[in-house]
Amino acid sequence: MVKNGQLETLDKLNTPDLNIPETIVETPGALNKKQISPDVFPQIPPTPIPVLDPALRAWLEIDSAALLHNLQQLQGLLSPGCELMAVVKADAYGHGAWGIAATILAQGVESLAVATISEGVELRQAGIKAPILILGSIATPEAAQVILHHHLEPTLSSYSQAQLFSEIVTNTGTNTGINLEINQGTNSQQFCSRPTLPVHINVDTGMSRLGAPWLQARELVQQVQALPGLEIASIYSHLATADELDPTVRELQHDRFQQVIQSCQDLGLSPRVKFHLANSAGTLVDPELHYDRVRIGLALYGLPPAPHLRSKASLQPVMAVKARVTLVKSLTAGTGVSYGYSFIAPKDMAIAVVGIGYADGVPRLLSNQMQVIIRGQRVAQIGKVTMDQLMIDVSAIPDVQPGEIVTLIGADGKEKITAEDWAEAIDTISWEILCGFKSRLPRLTLA
């Protein structure tokens, strides 16, 4: 759908209340409103805009087809009866939470996870009605009220947190007519009134972050069962080292989780209570970790959590990062480039200025260490990456013109650069690279 450097026929979704910046969606394809339950797109009529503004200096392209391919691949791996919960925190790892959530819910994904209350509220305000688990910890009654009001589902690590929610549900939830509603587990997005709040008990089996100590899990489950107004929706834990080759910690956590499940067997838990442990790496590495649900983030966005897991599923990166050449100039040998002159032209050169910088999410640490693709050819980035611009060496490419598109992450012709490549170059992880792209970059969703 990208022709001559321009996206054809774009719709701009009018999201006045949402503060979801500059989300632009093509009319045809996976985000075609005709293919998606109207409830997922409530009261948001598409407002056509002509084409991608040729003046747009930098943007992210979100490939819906790749997203759906990854979803299919991952669902195909799951053990029978296991459900995929999509982790869409941090704006769906930079991909735009609302667009990602709407697309995958339309394909049968039934539940979402975010980190913070405001991430959940944004999705609710955008009309997403699927169950949303808040993975973060909730500390104040005010925060708990917001959770309740927006039909979000909290993580509980302690009895005091459980008491907080129980009190709020019993004192305000039912009496003041706050209508607790939960999704029925279908994409019909049908809500029904319920007098209880679904809660998720987190058990610390070795991550040492959130969760009740695993040896006290049974006790906490019993305590929550005894509290009015709460309904245990799931009991879960999080793996600390599933992406590492050494299985020792993963196996220890698995064993502890198994013991937690066994210890709860005589507590009369509803068969609806789901047990879950695996993230992307856990899902890919061992089907025994699947249980009733897997919580998948990175793999859904098309990146393997570790090189040795690459062969477990054929994943396609969902995000591409592109920017335009804004200026082309000639340098004579010996000329310094950008702040600090970390690059001095070794010969006469042609360089291009590209309209993207560290304020958009290109790590400054990549200065002089990254390549980009222009006209299907890799060229070197030179000098320090600046806040809004960076320079590239186009000496080998004839007559580069302002307005030409540069691919920073993504494919162009036979060349391809991934977020993994960036992560490796600066000794970080793909998750951080993806989450680093800022809201000032429009997200363009391609069918």
Ligand X SMILES: Cc1ncc(COP(=O)(O)O)c(C=O)c1O
Choice between 298 and 417, CB closer to ligand X: 298
Residue 95 binding ligand X, by CB under 6 A = no
Choice between 113 and 382, CB closer to ligand X: 113
Residue 279 binding ligand X, by CB under 6 A = yes
Distances (CA, A) of 203 to 254, 262, 348, 355: 12, 14, 62, 46
Choice between 260 and 299, CB closer to ligand X: 299
Question: Mapping DSSP to helix (H, G, I), strand (E, B) and coil, where does residue 147 land?
Answer: helix
Shortest spacing between CB 149 and ligand X, in angstroms: 23
Residue 238 binding ligand X, by CB under 6 A = yes
Choice between 221 and 294, CB closer to ligand X: 294
Shortest spacing between CB 279 and ligand X, in angstroms: 3
Candidates 32-40, 42-50, 249-257, 275-283; binding stretch for ligand X (CB under 6 A): 275-283
Shortest spacing between CB 344 and ligand X, in angstroms: 41
Per the annotation, the verdict on 93 as an active-site residue is no
Residues for the chain: how many in total?
447
Q: Which residue number is nearest to ligand X in terms of Cβ?
A: 297
Site for ligand X in 379-438 (CB under 6 A): none
Rounded-to-10 torsion of CA 143, 149, 155, 161 = 50
The per-residue DSSP string of 198-257 comes to: EEEEEEESS--SSSEEGGGHHHHHHHHHHSTTEEEEEEE---SSTTSS--HHHHHHHHHH
Shortest spacing between CB 273 and ligand X, in angstroms: 18
Choice between 169 and 435, CB closer to ligand X: 435
Candidates 62-70, 169-177, 221-229, 278-286; binding stretch for ligand X (CB under 6 A): 278-286
Shortest spacing between CB 111 and ligand X, in angstroms: 12
Choice between 282 and 357, CB closer to ligand X: 282
Shortest spacing between CB 296 and ligand X, in angstroms: 5
With contact defined as beta carbons under 8 Å apart, do 351 and 382 qualify? yes
Choice between 305 and 383, CB closer to ligand X: 305
Candidate list 33, 89, 312, 384, residue with the active-site label: 89
For 90, residues 6+ apart whose C-beta sits below 8 A from its C-beta are 115, 119, 435
Per the annotation, the verdict on 89 as an active-site residue is yes
E strand intervals along 58-173: 58-63, 83-87, 111-114, 132-137, 153-156
Rounded-to-10 torsion of CA 62, 68, 69, 75 = 140
- The string over 268-294, giving b where at least 16 C-beta atoms fall within 10 Å of a residue's C-beta and e elsewhere, is eeeeebbbbbbbbbbbbbeeebbbbbb
For 97, residues 6+ apart whose C-beta sits below 8 A from its C-beta are 20, 88, 89, 91, 114, 119, 122, 123
Choice between 246 and 266, CB closer to ligand X: 246
For 295, residues 6+ apart whose C-beta sits below 8 A from its C-beta are 85, 87, 113, 236, 276, 278, 279
Residue 234 binding ligand X, by CB under 6 A = no
Candidates 100-108, 277-285, 410-418, 420-428; binding stretch for ligand X (CB under 6 A): 277-285
Shortest spacing between CB 299 and ligand X, in angstroms: 6
When binding is defined by CB under 6 A, the residue of 183, 196, 280, 367 that contacts ligand X is 280
When binding is defined by CB under 6 A, the residue of 135, 148, 315, 441 that contacts ligand X is 135
Residue 70 binding ligand X, by CB under 6 A = no
Site for ligand X in 284-313 (CB under 6 A): 295-299, 305
CA distance 139 to 137: 6
Shortest spacing between CB 238 and ligand X, in angstroms: 4
Contacts with ligand X: how many residues (CB under 6 A)? 12
Q: Which are the catalytic amino acids?
A: 89, 339
List of residues contacting ligand X (CB under 6 A): 87, 135, 238, 279-281, 295-299, 305
